[in-house]
Amino acid sequence: MADVRAQLEAQQRIQDLIARHAPLETTLAAISRMGEQLLPGALVSIMLFDAERQSLTLAGGDSLSPAYRAAMQDIPIGPHVGSCGSAAYLRQLVITEDIAESDAWRGFHALARAEGVRACWSMPVLGRDGALLGTFATYYRGPGVPDEADQAHINRAAGLVALAVERHQERRTLEETEQRYRSLFTEHPDAVFQIDMAGRLCALNRAAGDILGLPESRLLGRHYNDLVTEDCRQRCEEAFAAAVRGEPQHYEIKAYRANADQPVALDITNLPIIVDDQVIGIYGIARDITLRKQYEARLAYYASHDALTGLPNRREFESRLAHDFELCRRHRQPLAVLYIDLDDFKPVNDSLGHAFGDRLLVATARRLEKLLGPGDTLSRFGGDEFVLLLPSLADEQEALALAERVLGLFSRSHTLGTEQVHISASVGIAFSHDDVRSPEELVQFANRAMQQAKRQGRNTWRRYAGGDGAEPGENVSLRRDLQEAISNDQLSLHYQPVVDATSGELRSIEALVRWHHPERGTLSPGVFIPLAEQTGQIIEIGQWILRRACSDMMALQGQGVQPIPVAVNISPLQFARPSFVANLAQVLAETGLPAHLLELELTEGVLMADADGAIASLKALRELGVHAAIDDFGTGFSSLSYLRYLPINKVKLDRSFISDMMDSRGSAAIVQGVITMAHHLSLEVVAEGIETEAQWQALRGRDCDLLQGYLFAHPMPLAQLVEKAGLSSAAS
């Protein structure tokens, strides 16, 4: 009875050591002593398993000699590696009655003789999941085998070793996790915080205080809604409620910053803290995105406004016109467009310099702005052209009177610095009921009327009276000729190089369609592409361009020329067709061009007309291996918020920004901004319209990747390009 009580007390002491998180060495030593007390004459050894090295190392065995303990390090496990290596391998008790007679001990006979041990019984130590943790072994000075009681003691001791080792491993894992969390919490560069179920801050790191400009002591205990701007509180409440339901949340808000005029913009991620299937609080990470938001706002502004004058640009004007046109048509109200073009601006610009010309355009914009009423829009279309939208007219006379006032503004000379200049303007007027079928046509009619005013002496206005410009029959004829051109192979491709901004070396080429009309000669794409878009012929033309470009590239490779990536412009109608990706894959398969050598150029309008559909198509193209680029980037702002989600490879800066970049700080800011943003998104940037060395050097200094323009080469037939660029089999 006394032996049982002593045994239970020994077990209790060991369990207390485990519960108090005593060092593992201390606990294993206590188990060794208990084993030697329960098994008279035994010398106990406890070995731990190293999973990485697949070996055993002595961790407890004070009764063994120092020499023996030193030898029991990094013992491999295997079917014939002593008693412990075999027990670990077999996962069962291994009884060696006489070590001297055991083949498994062949490599350890001398060691055993020196230690004076003859028998060894070893039990594997297994975790709750059956994983090997080590071995518990007893040595004896004479041969022998364990009886049933001995085996029970060995099993019990091995179980205590398993408990001690598992608790030790769990404690270390917990400590490591807590240390990682503590480091992440305290040293994270973003704000990390914890909110209790009442919505109050109960923990935060130093970055949180830095972002909000307050010390931790002034933030702890405050409700989250006290820290955010009023317009963001409902969104915060919705996110908090969702997190309390166990749903992670990601959203953007604005929060107050101490001693700052403007709030700070934050990107927030909320994660519910769940214990025993219950949400007990919320972890949050907040990233300061103020600079990004300011940057995006500036980009959006410059994308919708003229960089020089600050007026709405053409795209923004067309957006407002489409809205007002539909509204006025619905309510049967008149709407007018005034197309204003300065007379003889080019001689002034050439003689006094572009900087003076820019100042004159800005001064003109400021004068015209004074004529604006509520809801009116004044836009600079480019160059010296301004367009005025009047959506709230009482009658036509109001617009005609305004045209007189416009001319009156130009009767006064401009004094800019030491220079005084007088310049007039020609004005064309068109009304929404002048047989106008679309907003675009309204602008065209106003432009025709302005051209008529030019022809009739300038410094005057004219109202569109019909009959100006191309007759409908001309379009019919051109459409018929275009169909013949498609059928009779009158279309051709010219190619323009795209070069490395640093080295000037050829990186790729862009395919550009040309039409050689049998009677009119070579026609600009600006003449027939808009018509093809309107008639739907662009689908057939686009497919022809794709196939010809791919075939041309394969023909070059057949001549021994190194593979060259080729870019092809894709029209909105072509891209929107459900079969577009499949047709493209078929072209690649039939021509043999590797997909990674083809790049498709799409305008922002194409991508944003159906953003979800565009993203799906772009993902399908990426799976094929085809690259994609946004063409004329920066002329529209709607894609900015989607840019990070679009699976594209490049953005192409619109040539209008490049042409204005050297003289306009606004355009230069857009160029630098687009380059920086694109690089943050791992996108390459191509600048179009490079015509001067100064533009090249400026773009290279801004880390632009690729350049394209007349400075390097005009679009040319493929054979001429091969000769000019030295793309020969010898060169390859």
Average pLDDT along the chain, 732 residues, taken 10 residues at a time = 68 84 90 90 95 92 92 93 94 94 92 94 94 96 93 92 92 75 71 92 88 90 92 93 93 90 92 90 91 87 89 93 89 90 87 89 94 92 93 82 85 81 89 80 91 80 65 58 85 95 94 88 79 73 95 93 94 79 95 96 73 86 95 61 81 84 83 90 93 93 94 92 72 36
* Integer Cα distance of 465 and 475 in angstroms: 20
* Integer Cα distance of 688 and 686 in angstroms: 6
Q: φ and ψ at 461, to 5 degrees?
A: -125, 155
Q: What is the pTM of this model?
A: 0.41
* Integer Cα distance of 45 and 57 in angstroms: 10
* Integer Cα distance of 607 and 640 in angstroms: 11
Q: φ and ψ at 127, to 5 degrees?
A: -80, 180
* Integer Cα distance of 568 and 508 in angstroms: 11
* Integer Cα distance of 433 and 457 in angstroms: 27
Q: Please, what is the angle between helix 718-725 and helix 538-558, to 10°?
A: 40
* Integer Cα distance of 492 and 494 in angstroms: 7
* Integer Cα distance of 26 and 46 in angstroms: 12
606: exposed, middle or buried (Cβ count in 10 Å: 0-12, 13-18, 19+): buried
**For position 731, what pLDDT does the model report?**
36
- Neighbouring-strand partners of residue 94: 122
Q: Which of 595, 537, 553, 601 has its CA nearest to residue 575? A: 601
* Integer Cα distance of 546 and 292 in angstroms: 38
**For position 730, what pLDDT does the model report?**
40
Pairs from 462-467 (Cβ < 8 Å, separation ≥ 24): 462/427, 462/428, 462/429, 463/400, 463/428, 463/429, 463/430, 463/431, 464/428, 464/429, 464/430, 464/431, 464/434, 466/434, 466/435
H or E element: which one contains 337?
Answer: strand 336-342
**Chain center to CA of 249:** 19
* Integer Cα distance of 526 and 360 in angstroms: 30
CB of 422 closer than 8 Å to CB of 364: no
**For position 409, what pLDDT does the model report?**
86
* Integer Cα distance of 243 and 531 in angstroms: 54
* Integer Cα distance of 111 and 65 in angstroms: 11
Half-sphere exposure for 312 (CA within 13 Å, toward CB): 16
Tokens of residue 59, six digits: 């961790």
Q: Which domains does the chain have, with CATH numbers?
A: 2-176 (3.30.450.40), 188-288 (3.30.450.20), 295-469 (3.30.70.270), 473-713 (3.20.20.450)
* Integer Cα distance of 119 and 42 in angstroms: 10
SS3 assignment, position 416:
strand
Tokens of residue 667, six digits: 């355009």
Half-sphere exposure for 164 (CA within 13 Å, toward CB): 34
CB proximity list for 369: less than 8 A, separation 6 or greater: 311, 378
Using alpha carbons, list the distances in angstroms from residue 41 to 97, 119, 141, 142, 574.
Answer: 15, 11, 8, 9, 91
**For position 3, what pLDDT does the model report?**
65
Report which residue type is found at 118.
Answer: R
Q: φ and ψ at 79, to 5 degrees?
A: -70, -15
* Integer Cα distance of 639 and 618 in angstroms: 14
CB of 387 closer than 8 Å to CB of 319: no
* Integer Cα distance of 11 and 581 in angstroms: 73
Q: φ and ψ at 485, to 5 degrees?
A: -65, -40
* Integer Cα distance of 267 and 284 in angstroms: 10
* Integer Cα distance of 567 and 281 in angstroms: 53
Tokens of residue 225, six digits: 């809604």
CA dihedral 191, 193, 198, 202 (to 10 degrees): -120
Q: Please, what is the angle between helix 439-455 and helix 314-330, to 10°?
A: 110
Q: Where are the beta strands (DSSP E) in 189-288?
A: 191-195, 201-204, 249-255, 264-275, 278-288
Q: What is the 3-state secondary structure (H, E, C) of 585-631?
A: HHHHHHHCCCHHHEEEEEEHHHHHHCHHHHHHHHHHHHHHCCEEEEE
Report which residue type is found at 17.
Answer: L
Question: Within 10 A of 596 (CB to CB), how many other CB atoms are there?
Answer: 12
**For position 182, what pLDDT does the model report?**
65
Tokens of residue 331, six digits: 């309510």
CB of 242 closer than 8 Å to CB of 249: yes
* Integer Cα distance of 732 and 724 in angstroms: 15
Bridge-based pairing state of the strands 75-76 and 201-204: unpaired
